Structure 1
Amino acid sequence: MDKRKSVVTMKGNPVTLLGKEMMVGDIAPNFTAVTKDLKEFTLKDMEGKIKLISVVPSIDTGVCDLQTMTFNEEAEKLNNTVVVTISMDLPFALNRYCAAKGLENAITLSDHREASFGLAYGFLIEELRLLARGVIVLDQNNKVIYVEYVNEISQQPNYDKALETVKQL
């Protein structure tokens, strides 16, 4: 298994990312996560659509909330695009969050069972068993068009660049 050290920090401290680093041009691997309703969800469930995958450590933190709500608000403006937020949060926490926030335009997924997404896309933090912050955009054929592993987990991703990439597709 690939291990990448000092790529990402949390409060200035380096953490280790597990899994293959995704690069522009790669074909995205399949993954299995769980919806807030406890149903399995895979990359294949978004077949034929553009995918904006927003990766957050925990939905219950301020920066993760801002990231999730920002992409949720933009989702309805994007054509043929599925917006997904994925974290290691339990499905029950995701369900509570979505109900409290009125989150309707994005899909929230939990990677808690097997860290399938985290390992396949290189976002799993070894020391914390959380996902690092980032964004991945896939085209209709699951080719990686944009990828961002945010250097410092407490910082926000580049919303404008990710959204601009989706709009160009």
Structure 2
Amino acid sequence: MASITLGGNPINTNGELPKVGSKAPQFQLLKTDLSEVTLADFAGSKLVLNIFPSVDTGTCAASVRHFNESASKLENTKVLCISRDLPFAQKRFCGAEGLENVVNLSDFKSGSFGKDYGLEMTDGALNALHSRVVIVIDENGVVKYTEQVAEIADEPNYEAALASL
């Protein structure tokens, strides 16, 4: 379990992030058109998992914008923006912002992604939402980088994540 903060107030997660060097856990999430997608659907591509509580907050929106800009410059790399937001909210946000270089995925149905990846918040005001995390997975499905952002309101270390690719 990780201890993080929201506005300086302690919050816990349900577990630990996948270990660097391990195979990334499988997942099943929903795209903005409500179709299902799994980790296997991205086989052969490098992945940046940009995980956050809600696209309707300033820091979460900033991370989507930042990775959208970075993704357009990366070869064989997809940025997956994952939250428990409804797919409709994710689609609305990216449409309004003109963001086309990220893939929005929702864990709203079961929350199993957050649980399986050890990043679901288990207490505090955002209980049951995802904590702010970046995970980089190589084209073979191996975890190359993880960051559990200690303060939810802070942005992740974009440079470190992208350098791991």
TM range (shorter): over 0.9
* Structure 2 residue 71 is the aligned partner of structure 1 residue 75: yes
Please tell me the residue identity of whatever aligns with 2:24.
Answer: A
Structure 2 portions without partners, runs of 5+: none
Distance in 1, matches of 2:159 and 2:16, equals 25
Q: How does 1:126-137 map to 2 (within 5 A)?
A: 126-127=122-123, 128-137=127-136
3-state DSSP of counterpart to 1:98: helix
Deviation per residue, 1:11-41 (Å, 9 max, x gap): 1112121144312111111011111111111
Of Structure 1 and Structure 2, the greater strand share is in 1
How far residue 142 of structure 1 moved from its aligned partner, in angstroms, is: 1.0
* Structure 2 residue 57 is the aligned partner of structure 1 residue 42: no
Please tell me the residue identity of whatever aligns with 2:102.
Answer: A
3-state DSSP of counterpart to 1:130: coil
* Structure 2 residue 31 is the aligned partner of structure 1 residue 31: no
How far residue 141 of structure 1 moved from its aligned partner, in angstroms, is: 1.1
Deviation per residue, 1:121-156 (Å, 9 max, x gap): 111112211100010000111111000000010001
* Structure 2 residue 64 is the aligned partner of structure 1 residue 65: no
Please tell me the residue identity of whatever aligns with 1:71.
Answer: F
Please tell me the residue identity of whatever aligns with 1:60.
Answer: D
Structure 1 portions without partners, runs of 5+: none
The aligned counterpart of 1:139 is 138
Cα contact 1:9–1:152 (8 A) shared by 2: yes
Cα contact 2:17–2:146 (8 A) shared by 1: no
Report the TM-score, using the length of structure 1 for normalisation.
Answer: 0.92
* Structure 2 residue 98 is the aligned partner of structure 1 residue 102: yes
Distance in 2, matches of 1:20 and 1:156, equals 20
> Which ranges of 4 or more aligned residues in structure 1 deviate by more than 3 Å?
none
Q: Percent identity?
A: 44
The alignment yields a C-alpha RMSD, in angstroms, of 1.1
Query: What is the number of equivalent residue pairs in this alignment?
Result: 162
